[in-house]
Amino acid sequence: MKPAPFEYERPESLGEAVGLLAEHGEEAKLLAGGQSLVPLLALRLASPSVLIDLNGVRELDHLRLEGDRLAIGAMTRHRDVEEMAELRTRCPMLVEGVSLIGHVTIRNRGTVGGSLAHADPAAEWPSLVLALEGEIDATGPEGVRTIPAEEFFETYFTTALAPDEIVSEVRLRIPESPRVGSCFLELARRHGDFALAGVGALLELDSSGSITDARVTLIGVRDRAVRSSGAESVLVGARPDAEVFAEAAEAIDPEIEPVSDIHGTSEYRRHLAKVLVRRALALATERAGGV
């Protein structure tokens, strides 16, 4: 349980970090919060010869809400997002999703950028970024490139990041209307474990109570987080009721491919995802001031 030897670099600016990554290439790994990487090193499932520690790069640690844009620096800790008071009422989906990551001790250290770049298909952040129309800045030797969330996550632990790029910031749109309601629900075998399945839902209602905007995202049921356009198209324009929620839940069928493992079968996960979609839509509706 001891990592293999490595060279340790601690850049103090993003430019310096990009330079080190270009210099060391495939030999190097970026160290963010370390809550996924360090166990891999300890178990020697990874043994990079160089670790580039981003914890000294101050410019990557920022969190700002301006109007409806939330800008999150890549080295922002999960706990800082969880504790941002404005978000509790404005976007419960975000706060609830983040507070389901591991345990407090892990959220104190784990970072938003690290979670996005790691791209675990059962992780919460990728789905939150998909639901909130996120865009991700990747900084490399050529400068900054902005990648929409839908193009960022490719498959298991694989993103659109080039080997010489570093996630530097993610920006989300946090809807401002009082007629917006959202939530995040998931089921895990034990508190803090990765979810068997999880669902983020956000609904906006008009003055007559019909749905004008809908986001439904899922985790743990495919090789990456999924935003369900099938469920969303059932919802938009409809009245929020149990029948519509059930129809939306059925519409996720072609979009998910859950696998069977020791924690649950594929059929069970599919069933669970649908139950969670129905529950999440009901709760989001209640929070949007609907029935």
- Residue-wise DSSP of 35-56: TTHHHHHHTTS---SEEEEGGG
The 3-state secondary structure of 234-258 reads HHCCCCCCHHHHHHHHHCCHHHCCC
Question: x/- binding map, residues 98-117, to other proteins, per CB under 8 A?
Answer: ----xxxxx-xx--------
# of chain residues touching other proteins (CB under 8 A): 30
Q: In whole angstroms, how close is the CB of 283 to other proteins at the nearest point?
A: 17
**Which listed range, 32-40, 84-92, 124-132, 201-209, lies at the site for other proteins (CB under 8 A)?**
32-40
- Sign of dihedral through CA atoms 31, 32, 35, 36? negative
Site string for other proteins, 34-73 (x = CB under 8 A): xx--xx-xxx-------x-x-x------------------
Report in angstroms how near the CB of residue 3 gets to other proteins at its nearest. Answer: 5
Q: Nearest 5°: phi and psi at 198?
A: -150, 155
How far apart CA 254 and CA 221 sit, in angstroms, is 11
**How near is the Cβ of 59 to other proteins at its closest, in Å?**
18
* Minimum distance, C-beta of residue 56 to other proteins, in the bound complex (Å): 9
124-131 and 92-99 helices, crossing angle to 10°: 170
> What contacts 82, CB < 8 A, 6 or more positions away?
95, 98, 99, 107
We find the least distance from the C-beta atom of residue 108 to other proteins, in angstroms, to be 4
Q: Report the nearest approach of other proteins to the CB of residue 50 (Å).
A: 10
Supply the minimum distance, in Å, between the C-beta of residue 11 and other proteins: 13
| φ, ψ of residue 219 in degrees (nearest 5) | -125, 155
Nearest alpha carbon to residue 113 among 142, 66, 74, 139: 74
The reply to whether 79 sits near other proteins by the rule CB under 8 A is yes
Query: Which x/- pattern over 172-201 shows residues binding other proteins (rule: CB under 8 A)?
Result: ------------------xxx---------
Helices (H), 153-265: 229-235, 242-250
Nearer to other proteins by Cβ, of 26 and 103: the residue is 103
Nearer to other proteins, 37 or 131 (CB): 37
Phi–psi pair at 66, nearest 5 degrees: -125, 115
Binding site for other proteins (CB under 8 A): 1-8, 10, 34-35, 38-39, 41-43, 51, 53, 55, 79, 102-106, 108-109, 190-192
